[in-house]
Structure 1
Amino acid sequence: MTFKLLEARKPPSDLIGRFSLIGATSWLIETAGVVLMAVLSLLVLSNATGRYFFNHPLPWTEEAVSILLVWIAAIGVVLAAGRGALVGCEIVTSRLRPRQGRALTRVISFVGALLMLTVAWYAWRYMNVFGRDTTPMLDIPKSWISGGLLAAGLGMAAAFLYRTFRPHDPSQFARETALEAQP
C-alpha cells in the first residue's frame, strides 16, 4: 500500500482564476475548519492559562473542545476525500491496466459513498434517539456532537460520488503543476 501525498489533487480553492461551485464550497469548508481550529486553540490556551497561572480553570472547555474536535475531524476528512488524498489501495489498482484501474476506482468510490450514506443514516437515527440529551456544563444538545458524524458521512458520500463520476487522476496534477511552472 502506498500513499503519494504529492500526487493528491490540488485543492479547488487554490485554483486561481477559476470559479466553480466545488471551489467555493471547498473554500467555505476550509474557512470553517480554520475558524474552528482557532476557537479550539483559544479555548485550550485560556483553560491552561486560567488553570496554571490563576488557579481558576474554565470547567466547561472540555465539553466545547470535544464538540469542536468532532467537527474539525469531520471537516478534515471531507476535505481529504474531496481532494483524493485519503489513503488508497494502489497496490491493487497499480497492477491493473489503466482502464481497469479507473473502473475499479469508480466502483470503490461508489461503494464508499454507499457506506458513508449508511454511516450518515445511523448518525441521524442516533441523533433522533439521544440528540435531545444535553451536556452537563453547557447544556448543549448532544446532537451537536453526533451532527459532526452526520456531516462527515454526508460530506464524504458527496465526495465519493463526485469521484465516481470524475475520478482522481494523479497525472492531471502533474500537468497542472507543469502548466503553472511555465512563464
Structure 2
Amino acid sequence: MKKLEHYFVTLNGWLLIAMMAGMTLVVGANIALRYSTGHSLPWADETARYLMIWMAFSGAGLILRSGGHVAITNLQDALPSAGQKLLRGAIVLGLLMFFGFMVYVGLQYAQRMQYQVTPALRLPFLYVYAAMPIGFLLLMIHLLLIAHPFITAGRYKRADDPDDAAATLPGGANG
C-alpha cells in the first residue's frame, strides 16, 4: 500500500510540474512573439488560465497532505487528548462529506457545460470544468491517505520525513 501511495503522490506531483512547464512555455512563447513580431498567440491567455485552474484543483490534495492549508487550532489546542482526536475525526468526516458533495456538484456543472466551447481553443468547457470534480476526488484520496495519522496524532505527511517514503514529491530531498 505504501508503494502505491508513493506512486500516486509522485504522479500527482509530476502532473503539476508538467502543467506548470506547459503554462510557462505558452506564456513565454507568447511574450517572445509579441515583442519580436508584434503579434501574439490568440489562444495563449486562455491556455494559461485553464492550466492554472487545473493546477489549483489538482495540487490542493498535495498541499492538504502536508498541512499547508489554513488551519485555526485554538479549539483543538484547548481540548484534552481524547477531545482532540474526536475533533480531528469530525473534521476529517466533515471534509470528506464536503469534498464528496463538491465532486457531485462539479460533475453536474461539467456536464451542463459540455456543449459550450471556449472562445479561442474551441475546446468543450467540459474539459475545463472537469478540474473541479477531479480535484475534489484527489482531495478525498489524499485525505483518506493521511486520515489515520492526522486523527490519532495530529500529524501530516511531510515531504522531508525520511520515515515516510510515500510523501516524497518529485524533485524533493528523497526524490
**CA displacement at 1:177 relative to structure 2:** 6.3
Does residue 1:40 correspond to 2:19, yes or no? no
Please, which of 135, 139, 150 is the counterpart of residue 156 of structure 1? 139
Q: Amino acid of the residue matched to residue 105 of structure 1?
A: R
Q: What is the rounded CA distance, in whole Å, between the counterparts of 1:96 and 1:19 in structure 2? A: 32
Q: Amino acid of the residue matched to residue 34 of structure 1?
A: I
Structure 1 counterpart of 2:105: 122
Q: What is the rounded CA distance, in whole Å, between the counterparts of 1:74 and 1:150 in structure 2? A: 9
List structure 1 runs of 4+ shifted beyond 3 angstroms: 161-166, 168-173
Say what the alpha-carbon RMSD is for the aligned residues: 2.3
Does residue 1:86 correspond to 2:59, yes or no? no
Q: What is the rounded CA distance, in whole Å, between the counterparts of 1:51 and 1:151 in structure 2? A: 34
Does residue 1:73 correspond to 2:56, yes or no? yes
CA displacement 1:124-172 (0-9 Å, x = unmatched): 0011111221112211111111111111111112223334444264498
Structure 1 counterpart of 2:168: none
Partner-residue secondary structure (3-state), 1:103: helix
Does residue 1:52 correspond to 2:35, yes or no? yes
Give TM-score scaled by structure 2 length: 0.81
Structure 1 residues 85 and 111: CA distance shift in structure 2, 3 A: same
Q: What is the rounded CA distance, in whole Å, between the counterparts of 2:102 and 2:156 in structure 1? A: 32
**Unmatched runs of 5 consecutive residues or more in structure 2:** 164-175
Q: What is the rounded CA distance, in whole Å, between the counterparts of 1:147 and 1:50 in structure 2? A: 31
Please, which of 26, 39, 45 is the counterpart of residue 62 of structure 1? 45
Structure 2 counterpart of 1:107: 90
Q: What is the rounded CA distance, in whole Å, between the counterparts of 1:27 and 1:68 in structure 2? A: 19
Structure 2 counterpart of 1:96: 79
The share of aligned pairs that are identical, in percent, is 19
